[in-house]
Amino acid sequence: MMIQWFPGHMAKAKRQIIEKVKLVDLVMELLDARIPLSSRNPMIDEMVKGKPRLILLNKSDLADSIITNEWVEFFKKQGIRALPISSTTGKGIKSMITASEELVAEKKEALMRKGINKRAIRAMILGIPNVGKSSLINRLAGRIVARIGDKPGVTKGQQWIKVGTSLELLDTPGILWPRFEDQEVGLRLAVTGAIKDEILHFDEIALFVIKYFAKYYPDRLKERYQLGELHDDPVEMIKQIGKLRGFLISGGEIDFDRTAEMIVRELRTGKLGPYSLERPTIEPKPNTNTI
């Protein structure tokens, strides 16, 4: 499966980010805690180089907490501060604001020496579609100032948003990169809903999910779908789940498509519990982008 998705508004957003990054003190890079590397747009490194950066591992309430802590250490070894947060529950929000202040303390001191001591921290929030930027901004602002959607591509423009008197945020549209060199990156993004379902096949996503869970979370599959020993072949496992759920079509055949979609939707709605699809100790090289 070749996944390519780079709508025109994303190309425009990239140009706008490059133009506006010089106006901010700090870049907040919002990642999905379940797929930290796959949800990192490699173009962002080039667009915001030289700016202090805080990585926010959002949706940490949906991720495997043990693996998330490993990711925090992974980024720490690279000299990057990372914090687990949840824009829906509020977890880690206070720590995020404190960390932001610490990262720009040197610049604030320089401004104070120039007699400028009341200016708010200006931060740019970047992230791929559907990673939770709008939810985070609304929570920080204490009101609905950014549109929220369960599909990628809701935010189409940039806007400045005041958070109290100490922080100003520049919201930006989510940007995916033009082509995924590693197709598993595309599959991970598809599992978590970062890519529109309309351009994907649920059977391929479900096969990926079943194979991964059979390796790392086998007990979850057994418990949720009342399975005994797990089949070595993920195709046969999906058929078994479909049979147990009664997803049959004419002739007694298993409705594979319906079963696959059900598995993906149950995963997304938390019925298989918190999970992480990437682990620091087994990750491939960072993503590269091509035009």
Q: Is the pLDDT of residue 107 over 90?
A: no
CA 33 to chain CA centroid, Å, is 6
Together in a domain, 161 and 240: no
Residue 288 has a pLDDT of 42
Q: Is the pLDDT of residue 196 over 90?
A: no
Q: Is residue 264 part of a domain?
A: yes
pLDDT digits (tens, 9 = 90+) for 35-54: 999 998 887 888 887 889 99
Q: Is residue 223 part of a domain?
A: yes
Q: Is residue 191 part of a domain?
A: no
Together in a domain, 28 and 99: yes
Together in a domain, 153 and 245: no
Pairing, β 81-84 against β 53-58:
parallel
Together in a domain, 78 and 132: yes
Q: Under DSSP, is residue 124 helix (H, G, I), strand (E, B) or coil?
A: strand
When pLDDT is cut at 50, 70 and 90, the band that residue 245 belongs to is very high
Together in a domain, 172 and 205: no
Residue 193 has a pLDDT of 86
For residue 114, which amino acid is it? K
| Range with the poorest average pLDDT among 48-52, 248-252, 287-291 | 287-291
Residue 12 has a pLDDT of 72
pLDDT digits (tens, 9 = 90+) for 173-183: 677 665 667 78
Together in a domain, 25 and 146: yes
Together in a domain, 216 and 101: no
Q: Number of structural domains, the chain?
A: 2
Structural tokens at position 83: 């914090």
Domain boundary among 129, 148, 179: 179
Per the structure, the complete domain to which residue 168 belongs is given by: 8-179
Together in a domain, 168 and 57: yes
d(CA 175, CA 177): 7
Q: Is residue 19 part of a domain?
A: yes
Q: Is residue 189 part of a domain?
A: no
Together in a domain, 101 and 242: no
pTM: 0.84
Q: Is residue 2 part of a domain?
A: no
**CATH code where residue 257 lies:** 1.10.1580.10
Beta bridge partners of 83: 56
Burial 115-154 (b: 16+ CB within 10 A, else e): eeeeeebbbbbbbbbbbbbbbbbbbbbeeebbeeeeebbb
Task: Specify whether the CB–CB gap between 125 and 58 falls below 8 A.
Answer: no
Residue 144 has a pLDDT of 63
Together in a domain, 55 and 91: yes
Domain boundary among 179, 209, 232: 179
Together in a domain, 76 and 124: yes
Q: Is the pLDDT of residue 200 over 80?
A: no
Q: Is residue 244 part of a domain?
A: yes
Picking from 186, 171, 175, the residue whose alpha carbon sits closest to that of residue 152 is 175
Q: Is residue 224 part of a domain?
A: yes
- Using alpha carbons only, give the angle 32, 37, 41 rounded to the nearest 5 degrees: 85
Together in a domain, 115 and 245: no
